[in-house]
Amino acid sequence: MPNNAGFISHGAPDIILGNDRALTSWKTLLGPREHFRAVVVISAHWMEKELTLSASPHPETIHDFGGFPEELYRLHYPASGSPPIAMELKEKLTKAGWNTMIDNSRGLDHGVWIPLMAMLPDAGIPVVPISLSRKMGTREMFQFGRDLHDIMGNDLFFLASGGVTHNLFEARFSAGEKARWAEEFDDWTVETVLSGKWNNLIDYRSTAPYGSRNHPTEEHFLPLLAFAGWTSRAQEQSPGISLSVSYRDIAYYCISMTGFLLAPATGDQDPHQEISSPEKPLGG
């Protein structure tokens, strides 16, 4: 059984130009690629009124950022899309009660193509992006992740791309100290996810230390909620499944690079890096 899903904190766009250690973890996130028809990605950088799936057959590389080295704007990720898979997912989501739309021209924002450039440098697997919805908060995203798990199957890899922390107002773009308030929130998030305390994660603004400070806006945390919902459902169906931290660091003073990987248990995992006795979400 292949790796099922992953969450990454994608950091700054120019990470792809260097040799940051996070890139190494991204390169191994997918596992054996021959298992997958496509990668389905929810990114913090695409939000619509309704949940929207891209059915572009040849999605463009979107350089949705400014002020970075010219070299970054010359990079392009030539992955194909998959209109049939996008339509298949839309139909199944509609049957599950979700209002979804199709966008036939949406490309790949940097929350999609930059990590995939590390994961799949030859762009050899189709990519199907799914937007966030302005109508959906943390609880709705959690439930969406649960339902998405049930309709996707094992031949699609689910990637959630956001940030465990995302306060650009206080970021410092030079090497140096790390903000304690970001470290405490990162520690809390890791413990909460690994122990399956889903209601605490859903209500992070009231249950976590410095929740609002780490997320002045919520779009970078919402992909983690979709991944958490996916994880909760996967564990219910496959009790031996393993949830681990794929990478941890704080960059630029307060920008978490923490990621998670959901994969079949191998028997040699660190028991402290796996889910144990997660709670069932209230109302989920």
Which segments of 195-240 does DSSP mark as H helices, in order? 198-202, 204-207, 211-214, 222-237
Nearest to 128 by CA among 170, 79, 78: 79
Three-class secondary structure of residue 243 per DSSP: strand
Report the b/e string of 80-106 with b at 16+ CB within 10 A: ebbbebbebbbebbeeeebebeebeeb
In a domain? residue 96: yes
- Give me the domain span that covers residue 173: 5-273
pLDDT-derived band at 139 (thresholds 50, 70, 90) equals: very high
- Six-digit token string for 166: 């995302």
- Asked if the model's pLDDT at residue 108 lies above 50, the reply is yes
Q: For residue 265, what pLDDT is reported?
A: 73
Q: What is the CATH number of the domain that holds 50?
A: 3.40.830.10
Residue 280 lies in a domain: no
Of 79, 135, 133, which Cα lies nearest the Cα of 108?
Answer: 79
What pLDDT shows up at residue 279? 58
Mean pLDDT, the chain, rounded, equals: 92
Tens-place pLDDT, residues 26-49: 999 988 777 899 999 999 999 999
- Tell me the pLDDT tens digit for each residue of 219-228: 999 999 999 9
C-alpha span between 221 and 161 (Å, rounded): 9
Number of domains within the chain: 1
Does 181 fall in a domain? yes
Is 249 among the domain residues?
Answer: yes
Q: Average pLDDT of 96-124?
A: 97
Within a domain: 281: no
- Is 191 part of any domain? yes
**pLDDT given at position 238:** 87
| pLDDT tens-digit series, residues 237-270 | 988 899 999 999 999 999 999 999 999 876 544 4
The one-letter code for the residue type at 241 is I
Could you tell me if residue 283 is inside a domain?
A: no
90 assigned to some structural domain: yes
Contact in structure between 185 and 164 (CB atoms under 8 Å): yes
Q: What pLDDT score was predicted for residue 32?
A: 77
171's enclosing H/E stretch is none
Distance CA 36, CA 197 (A): 30
Residue 51 pLDDT? 98
